[in-house]
Amino acid sequence: MTELAAVKAALKTQAVETPSWAYGNSGTRFKVFAQAGVPRSPFEKLDDAAKVHEFTGVAPTVALHIPWDRVDDYTALAEYAEKRGVRVGAINSNTFQDDDYKLGSVCHPDPAVRRKAVGHLLECVDIMDATGSKDLKLWFADGTNYPGQDDLRGRQDRLAEALAQVYERLGDDQRMLLEYKFFEPAFYATDVPDWGTAYAHCLKLGDKAQVVVDTGHHAPGTNIEFIVATLLREGKLGGFDFNSRFYADDDLMVGAADPFQLFRIMYEVVRGGGFSADVAFMLDQCHNIEAKIPAIIRSVMNVQEATAKALLVDRDALAAAQASGDVLEANAVVMDAYNTDVRPLLREVREEMGLDPEPLKAYRASGWAEKVVAERVGGEQAGWGA
């Protein structure tokens, strides 16, 4: 197989998971903006996700968020997804919206609140069983705002105890993916603030616990690709939540703020074997002012473009330059790949997959946007908290 053929083959196997909540209404702390045609149920979210997969060919799974996507029959929801040509992906828990969680959930000083939070996490594993999901994704808003508010070590003990309970409930083919975030909504001390804390807990739990890297959850200047390389080296990178940030957790479209960073991250994924390993490539974005489905299609394409460039890095030439200490040549090899216009290559890949080479144009010509605006009248649109 030629090098170009190998790159094409790899791109055809790529899978990017889209988040159900990205299809609903979202906004800032000040305002949630409604859009016409937004889904009113998890079933309609799956309809929209199926359209993204139809036009990109690489978005076969949809992450659910509980309770935002709660239904009476999860098996029926999974069957509905299959009929639409997609599958249920990661199940995301929610331990941050109830009043009980003001002082934390699994780290709360009150055992009753901790039991409630763990009960919800176990419910999510039940939903995994019913839908065929393999991944339980955990993000905790737990933390403190003031020195002395609670015992820092005690909170870590409570976190470890809760994670252990949930870990024991997982099936043999299921995973726990632990996400970190360095601040917000807790401002003094967040209980899972960085990759090291997440890694330490996952290492103690076992092979079924891995770390999720949300690209928006880092302080300015953080070398995210180093984190990715280290977690891959340790076999503990479970997946990504892809998005972009200018300031904090902006949840902008992946590749919008710093496409070079996305390329660097994807190179470390390729270099570390993560592209062929069991690493989940998930989007975690909020489309507040742009149309939902086109934004998600564009995001998938951005991940594809960064991946294609990463696959084009001449690794032999790079290794030779590194070994000889030729700093400029090593950097030039990387920059040559990044500066390559991979859009013609991706158009060829799509055509070989039987897809329209221009996903966004094909979607706009499909009439789906006009159809849902006309049909999704009445009822309550999905959005934050629903």
Given pLDDT bands bounded at 50, 70 and 90, which one contains residue 214? very high
Number of residues that make up the chain: 386
* pLDDT the model gives residue 122: 98
Q: Say what the pLDDT of residue 30 is.
A: 87
386 has a pLDDT exceeding 80: no
pLDDT at 276: 74
Confidence of residue 13 (pLDDT cuts 50, 70, 90): very high
Contacts (Cβ under 8 Å, ≥6 apart) of 95 = 101, 105, 106, 117, 120, 121, 140, 141, 142
Predicted pLDDT of residue 316? 97
For CA atoms 27, 248, 265, 195, the dihedral sign is negative
106 pLDDT more than 80: yes
Q: What is the pLDDT of residues 318-377, one digit of tens each?
A: 999 999 999 999 999 999 999 999 999 999 999 999 999 999 999 999 999 999 999 999
Average pLDDT (34-42) is 96
pLDDT-based confidence at residue 385 (cuts at 50, 70, 90): low
Rounded Cα distance between 302 and 253, Å, is 9
Using one digit for the tens of pLDDT, what is the confidence trace for 277-310? Answer: 789 999 999 999 999 999 999 999 999 999 999 9
Give residue 29's pLDDT: 80
For the segment 174-210, what is each residue's pLDDT rounded down to a tens digit?
999 999 999 999 999 999 999 999 999 999 999 999 9
Residue 70: partners with Cβ closer than 8 Å, 6 or more residues away = 42
pLDDT at 2 over 80: no
What is the C-alpha to C-alpha distance for residues 282 and 284, in angstroms, rounded to an integer?
7
d(C-alpha 105, C-alpha 101), whole Å: 5
Q: What is the dihedral of CA 332, 335, 340, 345, to 10 degrees?
A: 100
**Average pLDDT value for the chain:** 96
pLDDT tops 60 at residue 50: yes
pLDDT tens for residues 116-171? 999 999 999 999 999 999 999 999 999 999 999 999 999 999 999 999 999 999 99
What φ, ψ does residue 363 adopt, rounded to 5°? -65, -45
Q: What domains are defined for the chain? A: 7-312 (3.20.20.150)
The percentage of residues in the chain with a pLDDT greater than 70, rounded to a whole number, is 99
User: 273 — alpha (psi -120 to 50), left (phi > 0) or beta?
Assistant: left
CA torsion angle 52 57 61 64 (round to 10): -10
Instruction: Name every residue whose Cβ is closer than 8 Å to that of residue 315 and which is 6 or more positions away in sequence.
Output: 271
275 band by pLDDT with thresholds 50, 70 and 90: confident
pTM here is: 0.96
Mind listing the pLDDT tens digit for each residue in 242-257?
999 999 999 999 999 9
| Cα 93 from Cα 172, distance rounded (Å) | 20
Render the burial of 84-118: b for 16+ CB within 10 Å, e for the rest: bebbbbbbbbbbeeeeebebbbbbbeeeebbebbb
Tell me the three state secondary structure of residue 384. Answer: coil
Average of per-residue pLDDT across 55-73: 97
The whole-number pLDDT of residue 277 equals: 74
Q: For residues 30 and 66, which has the higher predicted lDDT (pLDDT)?
A: 66
